[in-house]
Each structure stands twice: as structure tokens, then as C-alpha cells.
């Protein structure tokens, strides 16, 4: 039901420091210390046991109800007092109002119920699923992306209804798989995308690409009304009619947010013939230059700090292809030595930068543990554009919203966590644990994947790079 008491019963701001430690589903009642069915009062943020345990959440409401009535007798001019009547189940995140004696389906005009859900919800590690959690937690902090998706809590999964704004629900199946459910509402209704994985550790970047590609194809399928989703074998194309980056057919929400366009220039060193082609991208994979990977002894000079700009320059600088990558020149009619250079023809709204920290040797895959310095604000991409003179002054600036970090030595082991920015604060997401952190801690992270959002307002740049 729609509750009329939300606005007068919900706290104006949710301070994470007032929440107990641990996951919300394990919180204890302030009275009896039971951790079964914890409910949190949305007025004072106190935790009590629910109606089917010892009922201290209801007693909390009743005690404050008596207090408010007694206050109104001496203060006749007050028409309404808060009653501590609205609670949230810390396991299912459903909301209950004791004055209505019903579960609540609506929200305030400011979306305060959903904001609290975003504070409380986290993802459990279901057995080496940190790679998945880190990506989902990062994407959920990208407003341009997460606003298109709605959360599917356990009740909604059974009823087929959606609630809230977040985009994922992760649960364990009995057949040793993990199912991540996404919901998107279109003019044809809501549909779900399920991503299934086993319990083995996977690469977070590979999962992100699989996820975005899969969402893109499902969105195309829903939009076009096709009998089956477009297959990955259908290739990529660049739409000349609207200038949008398109992967596997027409554009979608995914490509409109993450999609950019590269211009790939190859020049034959024998005859000088130039070849150009456009490549759509959803993310850019950047090498960490070899000069920053060297380990020096104590007696030697330290290696200079590698910056994100060094990685971007390495990606876009003119490169001579080696003998294993000889270019087939159509004028020479044979493979010839050549040079290659990338330009960015179109920047995306959300710029995803993947640092290549894993590389193959003869027998194993090693990790590049080099620290890469990156800006939190004001990443200027103008110098990497094909035609920078056509960009507006002050454009091409990006601010960081999320970082994925890999801890450990190998791709098949270790642990993934993420940092995310939300309403001016930075949080560290470590599976089910979410802690408030600061910008200095984020700057010191050895980033694996960086998510930057195109700047829309005038915010001072971070000039550290």
C-alpha cells in the first residue's frame, strides 16, 4: 500500500557512522540483542527485532506514540509529530508502517527510502564472486547507468514486480552457480538479464565486458522485438546516420553511456599508403609502460612514478608494428612494415579505463604491481582527440566515480574490492562490507579499472597530473 506517513517519519539524512558494524542482516536488537529479523527505525535509525521475534520494533513505536500524545496535550498548536512508525527490514529491505499496519510500496518525493537502501545494501561473496561484486558495486555508483535499472528484491523476484532504482540482485543457486538478475523497463515492459557463473575466481574486467555486451544485446532484443538476441558473431558497426557508437547492431543504453569511437591509422613504411578505420569501444585497455615496471636495487635511482597520462600517451603514441604484426598493404599487395596510431574520434559519457596488470610469460600469467597515479577530478582528454579544436572550451573533462582494485599476485587468485563516490563521499566496497573512506586512500589505490564520468558542472580540476 501507499503510506502517507513517510515524509514525517523518515530521517532527513543517513549518517553511515550511526549504523552498527557488519552486514545489516546480522545487526542485533538494541533491547534483546537478537540478530533474527532486525528492523531499523527510519526516524532514529535504532535497530530492534521484528514483529515475529520479540516485537521490540513495535514496542519502540508504541513507546514513542505515547510520548507524542502526551506532548500534544500541552502543545495544542502542533498538528503532527513524528511517531517512529516506519521501519525497514534489514534482510529484505522492505518497509513497514505500524500506523498503517502494512508494508509500504511508495517512497518520499526525495526518494529517501531508496537512498537508505543504497546505504545498506551490499553483496555477499558467494565463493570467489568478489570479481562480480566489485564490478556491480562500481556500476551502481554511476548515476547515468544505474538510473536505467531497478532493483529486484527477493519478494519482487517471486511476484514479478520491480521496486527501487538499483540494478542488481545476486543470489546463490543450488546447482553451484551464481545468478545476477537485472531489470530494465522499456515501452514493452520489464525484462531481466541473468548472468550465471560458477564459484571460480574470474577476471573482473572480462566479467564487466561480458556483462555490458550481454546487456547491450538484451536491450537490442527488447527494443527491436526480434525473435532472438543478436549474436556476438554479428560483428560491430558504426552508425553513420546518428554518429553513435554501435556494437552488434543498433545503439542501446549501454553504448549511449559507455560507447566511444577510435580512429585507427596504419601507414605503410614502404609506399606511404595510409589506412584508416573507425572502431567503437566500451572501454580502453591501457598498457603500463615498460620503463615503469623495472624493479631497482636500493643503490639505484628509484623508478619515476607512473601516471595515468603516461598510460594514455603510450596508448595513443605512434607505434611501429613488429614483424609478427606486418600490415597487408593494398598498394604493395603484400605485408609490409608499418606504423599504427590511435586517435579518439568520440568520447563517451562514462570513460572506462582498464589498466593491463596481467600479462603472459612463457608458462604463467604475471601481475604488474606498479602504482599508477590518477586524478580524482579534472582528467583532461582533449589532447587525445582526433579534432580537439572542435571541442568546446572546458569540455572533455572527467571526474572519477569508481575504482576497481585487485589485491594479490595472480589473476586466478587474490581479491577484488571497489571504491565508489556517492553524494560527495567515498566508500570502500569489500563484498558485504561498506565503509566510509577518504580521497587520499582512494588516490593510493593500485587501480585496475577506473570509471570516469563526463563533467557537467564547473568543478575545480585536480592538477596533480
CA torsion through residues 128, 132, 133, 134, sign: positive
∠ at Cα 393 (387, 395), nearest 5°?
75
CA dist 164 and 266 (Å) reads 48
78 contact partners, CB below 8 Å, separation of at least 6: 71, 72
- Cell digits of residue 257: 553511456
Q: Which of 382, 429, 359 is nearest to 130 (CA)?
A: 429
Give the Cα separation of 45 and 251 in Å (integer): 44
223: left (phi over 0), alpha (psi -120 to 50) or beta: alpha
- In the DSSP assignment, the letter for residue 207 is H
Q: Measured at the alpha carbon of residue 107, what is the angle toward residues 103 and 109, in degrees to the nearest 5?
A: 160
- Which residues are annotated as catalytic? 130, 415
Helices (H), 82-192: 112-120, 130-139, 143-146, 154-159
* Residue 96, Cβ density class (10 Å: 0-12 exposed, 13-18 middle, ≥19 buried): buried
Cα 280 to the chain's mean position, in Å? 21
DSSP 370: -
329 φ/ψ angles, rounded to the nearest 5 degrees: -90, 125
Give the residue among 105, 101, 89 at the shortest CA–CA distance from 1.
Answer: 105
Written as nine digits, the cell of 237 is 558497426
Pairing of strands 338-346, 319-320: antiparallel
As a whole number of angstroms, the distance between CA 255 and CA 247 comes to 7
Amino acid at each position: 500500500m501507499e503510506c502517507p506517513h513517510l515524509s514525517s517519519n523518515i530521517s532527513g539524512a543517513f549518517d553511515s557512522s550511526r549504523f552498527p558494524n557488519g552486514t545489516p542482516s546480522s545487526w542485533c536488537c538494541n533491547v534483546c540483542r537478537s540478530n533474527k529479523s532486525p528492523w531499523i527505525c527510519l526516524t532514529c535509525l535504532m535497530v530492534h527485532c521484528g514483529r515475529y521475534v520479540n516485537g521490540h520494533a513495535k514496542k519502540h513505536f508504541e513507546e514513542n506514540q505515547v510520548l507524542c500524545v502526551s506532548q500534544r496535550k500541552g502543545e495544542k498548536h502542533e498538528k503532527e509529530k513524528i511517531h517512529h512508525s516506519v521501519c525497514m527490514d534489514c534482510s529484505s529491505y522492505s518497509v513497514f508502517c505500524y500506523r498503517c499496519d502494512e508494508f509500504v510500496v511508495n517512497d518520499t518525493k526525495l526518494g529517501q527510502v531508496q537512498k537508505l537502501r543504497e546505504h545498506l545494501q551490499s553483496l555477499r561473496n558467494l565463493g570467489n564472486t568478489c570479481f562480480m561484486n566489485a564490478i556491480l558495486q562500481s556500476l551502481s555508483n554511476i548515476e547515468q547507468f544505474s538510473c536505467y535499472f531497478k532493483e529486484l528484491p527477493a519478494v519482487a523476484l517471486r511476484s514479478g514486480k520491480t521496486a527501487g532504482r538499483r540494478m542488481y540482485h545476486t543470489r546463490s543457486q543450488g546447482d553451484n552457480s551464481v545468478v545476477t538478475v537485472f531489470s530494465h523497463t522499456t515501452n514493452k515492459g520489464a525484462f531481466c538479464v541473468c548472468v550465471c557463473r560458477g564459484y571460480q575466481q574470474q577476471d573482473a574486467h572480462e566479467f564487466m565486458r561480458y556483462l555490458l555486451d550481454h546487456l547491450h544485446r538484451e536491450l537490442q532484443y527488447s527494443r527491436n522485438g526480434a525473435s532472438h538476441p543478436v549474436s556476438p558473431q554479428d560483428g560491430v558497426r558504426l552508425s553513420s546516420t546518428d554518429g553513435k557508437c554501435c556494437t552488434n547492431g543498433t545503439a542501446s543504453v549501454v553504448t549511449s553511456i559507455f560507447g566511444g569511437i577510435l580512429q585507427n591509422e596504419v601507414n605503410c613504411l614502404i609506399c606511404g599508403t595510409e589506412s584508416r578505420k573507425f572502431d567503437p569501444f566500451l572501454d580502453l585497455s591501457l598498457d603500463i609502460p615498460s620503463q615503469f615496471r623495472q624493479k631497482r636495487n636500493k643503490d639505484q635511482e628509484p623508478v619515476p612514478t607512473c601516471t595515468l597520462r603516461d598510460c594514455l600517451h603510450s596508448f595513443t603514441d605512434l607505434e611501429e608494428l613488429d614483424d609478427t604484426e606486418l600490415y597487408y598493404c593494398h598498394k604493395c599487395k603484400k605485408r609490409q612494415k608499418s606504423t599504427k596510431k590511435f586517435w579518439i574520434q568520440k568520447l563517451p559519457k562514462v570513460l572506462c579505463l582498464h589498466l593491463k596488470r596481467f600479462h603472459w610469460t612463457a608458462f604463467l600469467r604475471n601481475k604488474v604491481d606498479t602504482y599508477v597515479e590518477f586524478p580524482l577530478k579534472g582528467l583532461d582528454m582533449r589532447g587525445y582527440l582526433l579534432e580537439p579544436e572542435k571541442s568546446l572550451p572546458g569540455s572533455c573533462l572527467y571526474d572519477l566515480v569508481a575504482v576497481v582494485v585487485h589485491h594479490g599476485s595472480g589473476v586466478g587468485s587474490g581479491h577484488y574490492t571497489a571504491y565508489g563516490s556517492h553524494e560527495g563521499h567515498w566508500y570502500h566496497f569489500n563484498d558485504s562490507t561498506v565503509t566510509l573512506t577518504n580521497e587520499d586512500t582512494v588516490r593510493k589505490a593500485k587501480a585496475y579499472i577506473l570509471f570516469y564520468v563526463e563533467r557537467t558542472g564547473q568543478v575545480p580540476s585536480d592538477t596533480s597530473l
